[in-house]
């Protein structure tokens, strides 16, 4: 699993940082930062939830 984001779309809701804090964080501007581009397989569930709940569809997962 590979995770990428389009920071231009990010509206800083922080859902990803709350749902999957090992994979996502927010920088000083409050915008998404990917901490692990290839997260462990056991994090798939929470990463997919972050993808689903991101209000601006900023996160992409590539298998």
- Which residues here bind another protein, judged by CB under 8 A? 11-14, 17-18, 21, 26, 28-31, 49, 52-53, 55-57
Q: Which is nearer to another protein, 11 or 40 (CB)?
A: 11
**CA dihedral sign of residues 12, 31, 62, 45:** negative
Could you tell me the smallest distance in angstroms from the CB atom of residue 38 to another protein?
Answer: 23
Could you tell me the smallest distance in angstroms from the CB atom of residue 18 to another protein?
Answer: 5
Q: Considering only CA atoms, which of 23, 58, 54 is closest in space to residue 41?
A: 23
């Amino acid at each position: 699993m590979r995770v990428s984001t389009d920071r231009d779309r990010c509206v800083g809701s922080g859902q990803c940082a709350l749902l999957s804090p090992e994979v996502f964080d927010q920088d000083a501007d409050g915008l998404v930062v990917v901490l692990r581009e290839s997260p462990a397989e056991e994090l798939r569930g929470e990463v997919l939830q972050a993808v689903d709940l991101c209000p601006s569809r900023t996160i992409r997962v590539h298998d």
